[in-house]
Amino acid sequence: MLETTVVVIGGGATGMGTLRDLCMRGVPAILLEQGGLAHGTSSRFHGLLHSGGRYAVNDNESARECIEENMIVRRIGRQCVEETEGFFALTPGDDPAYVEPWAEACRKAGIDAQELDVAEALRLEPNLSPDIRRVFRVPDSCVDGFRLALHNAMSARRHGGRVMTYHEVTAIHQRNGKVCGVTARNSISGESLEIACQCVVNAAGSWSGRIAGLAGLDVAVSPDRGTLIVFNHRFTSRVINRLHPGADGDIFVPHGSITILGTTSTPTERPDDTTPTCTEVLRLLDLGEPLFPAVRQYRILRAFAGTRPLYTPGNAAGRKASRNFHVVDHAEQGLEGMVSIFGGKLTTYRLMAERVSDNVCARLGVHAPCRTADEALIPDPDQAMLRRAARYFPVQGLQLMADRLGDDLPDVLQQVELAGRAGESDGNPLLCECEMVSLAEIERVARDPSTHSLTDIRLRTRLGMGTCQGTFCSLRTIGALVEHGVPLELSPTDNVRRFLQERWRGLRPALWGTQAREMELGRAVYAGTLNLDGAANEQDN
């Protein structure tokens, strides 16, 4: 039996942000996540840090929140954000009469939208369609949602918070109309865990309906499925939005060496309905073509889907549903100490966390103010440390690695220096060249108690996210980890098989063109040469 004051349910950006906020105010808290870190929607979206331009006309209040939070997240989460700026482009298929009301709404929300000469826009983004009519630049940015959750978790830990991944909440206990604890099941060991607490924050996103159900409550949250495509090219340096009322397939977002095209919108019953379909991929390509005419020529790395947790009181659905967030104090329904947070978007995660923490603190009689906008998630590493690291890590990937590792950088550096002095080092080889991930970083992440599989390592390091999609680096990684005595949950062959299977799920709906060739190379290596398929039935123990 553990004891704490607040249990936060959901390890996405909102839950992690809430844990951090509470801990910074001195409130003891534990976060429970059913899967790995950011296993839900925080790692399954386009990675756009909204300027708010997308919402300016329909929901000016959301737009204002977006631009304010955008500026805060750039400041506190430097390692998670690439400050690219964005374009809103009017294509021949879009209504020109939408432009002026949109520009006016941006002004009202405080979004700096400057019109740009089309020729200048094409000079800056030469792959854009030459047919575009008007272009505005806005302060959009790109954000790594997984890393944002991770760095919030690191910050929360520094302030005394505790994160337990792979813990699914199975019961919420109450006494005399007040929350008194939760039961969780460790999905790896199967063990049951009791935690006594005074408050529960339901930040489970698309799963929050289920969590509320555990406490006998009914909430108006509907999962809404969005599918996206990842391309193996950074064919735009900026976020490109279509200048029209929000619709499917109208945003391109660059990340590192890739570009994401999103997003579809379909109501779904299941929060884990995340297998993309061929129909969705083809539709996205159709919709993306007016902005990037060559979009069909680019190799697709994979498609993926996530579910938005839309707040839908009175049956508003899909794009009509509000993108705003809502804090619901369930005391109104007779259960004190339980608060749910619904809706919203990743850009405003911090504000959502602040509002829900305000609610919890008021109940607990805690008066400390929110400080999450003032303190960086991860302190910048000093230059001396980076110079030391440059002796062991490829210089061109050094900053990437430092940004990914956050609080773990000093530890990784110390390990690799010790190994170097003891002569054990085999030169800290790069195991993933696409994303510049070295053995030392992978080993540190793999040894983290919250890491169970190659997929967990992929999320933290971006291993296998690039051109080879894991064909070469997954094998190298599993070999190096066995060599260094780092155990994972599954056997090495099962681990690689599951990793490849997850990649396959994203490639299957786009099985043509150059991506089909890459996929056949993967089959040639893993089935044709290594007989991973046959070995599954032939290894005896």
Partner 1 sequence: MSRIIDVLVVGSGLAGLVAALTAAREGRSVRMVTDGMGSLAISGGCVDLLGYAGGQRLNDPWSGMDLLPPAHPYRLLGASRVRAAVDMLLQCAADQGWPLHTAATPEGAPCNALLPTIMGTLKPSYLLPDGLDPAALARARRILVAGVHGLRDCRPALIVSQLRRYRDWADKDFVPFMLPSPLGATHRSLSALDLARLVDRPRGRDWLIQNLRKHAGQCDAVLLPPICGSRADASIWHELNQAVACPLVEMLSIPPGVGGLRLRDALLRELRRHDFELVENARIIRATTDGKRCTSLTALAAGQERRHTARAFVLATGGILGGGIELAPGSARESVFKLDIPVPSDVTLWSEPEIFGNHVFSRLGVRVDGEMRPQDDSGQAWYDNIFFAGRSVGGYDFATEKSGHGVALATGWQAGRMAAATAGKFHEPASGEQL
447 binds partner 1 (CB under 8 A): no
468 binds partner 1 (CB under 8 A): no
**For partner 1, which residue of 62, 475, 488, 506 counts as binding (CB under 8 A)?**
475
Please, what is the end-to-end C-alpha distance for the chain in angstroms?
36
Beta strands 192-196 and 2-3 are parallel
Comparison of 269 and 424: residue with beta carbon closer to partner 1: 424
270 binds partner 1 (CB under 8 A): no
188 binds partner 1 (CB under 8 A): no
State the Rg of the chain over Cα: 23
Give the footprint of partner 1 on residues 277-296 (CB under 8 A): 277-278, 282
Q: Which of 78, 82, 73 is nearest to 381 (CA)?
A: 78
Q: Minimum Å distance from CB 477 to partner 1?
A: 9
Residue count (the chain): 541
The answer to whether the beta carbons of residues 21 and 376 sit under 8 Å apart is no
Burial of 315 (0-12, 13-18, 19+ CB in 10 A): exposed
Q: Minimum Å distance from CB 229 to partner 1?
A: 13
Q: Minimum Å distance from CB 249 to partner 1?
A: 16
427 binds partner 1 (CB under 8 A): yes
Coil, helix or strand at residue 327: strand
Coil, helix or strand at residue 323: coil
Strands ordered across the beta sheet of 162-164: 162-164, 29-32, 6-9, 199-202, 338-343, 325-329
Q: Minimum Å distance from CB 520 to partner 1?
A: 4
505 binds partner 1 (CB under 8 A): yes
424 binds partner 1 (CB under 8 A): no
Cis peptide before 14 (omega within 30 of 0): no
Which amino acid, one-letter code, is at 195? I
- What is the C-alpha separation between 500 and 199, in angstroms, rounded? 41
118 binds partner 1 (CB under 8 A): no
Binding mask 384-413 for partner 1 (x = CB under 8 A): ----------x-------------------
Burial of 112 (0-12, 13-18, 19+ CB in 10 A): middle
**For partner 1, which residue of 431, 437, 457, 459 counts as binding (CB under 8 A)?**
431
- Positive or negative CA dihedral for 501, 506, 511, 516? negative
- What is the C-alpha separation between 444 and 461, in angstroms, rounded? 10
Binding mask 197-236 for partner 1 (x = CB under 8 A): ----------------------------------------
Comparison of 98 and 504: residue with beta carbon closer to partner 1: 504
Q: Minimum Å distance from CB 196 to partner 1?
A: 42
The answer to whether the beta carbons of residues 213 and 22 sit under 8 Å apart is no
**For partner 1, which residue of 428, 444, 448, 489 counts as binding (CB under 8 A)?**
428
DSSP state, residue 498: H
- Phi (first) and psi of residue 258, to 5 degrees: -125, 175
Q: Minimum Å distance from CB 534 to partner 1?
A: 6
500 binds partner 1 (CB under 8 A): yes
Binding mask 344-363 for partner 1 (x = CB under 8 A): --------------------
For helices 439-447 and 473-483, the axis angle rounded to 10 degrees is 70
**For partner 1, which residue of 259, 478, 488, 495 counts as binding (CB under 8 A)?**
478
421 binds partner 1 (CB under 8 A): no
Strands ordered across the beta sheet of 167-175: 2-3, 192-196, 178-186, 167-175
Q: Minimum Å distance from CB 200 to partner 1?
A: 36
Tokens in use for 97? 């009469």
The answer to whether the beta carbons of residues 430 and 454 sit under 8 Å apart is no
Binding mask 511-530 for partner 1 (x = CB under 8 A): xxx--xx-xxx-xxxxxxxx
Q: Minimum Å distance from CB 131 to partner 1?
A: 24
Residues that bind partner 1 (CB under 8 A): 277-278, 282, 394, 426-431, 472, 475-476, 478-480, 482-483, 485, 491-493, 496-497, 500-501, 504-505, 508-513, 516-517, 519-521, 523-535, 538-541
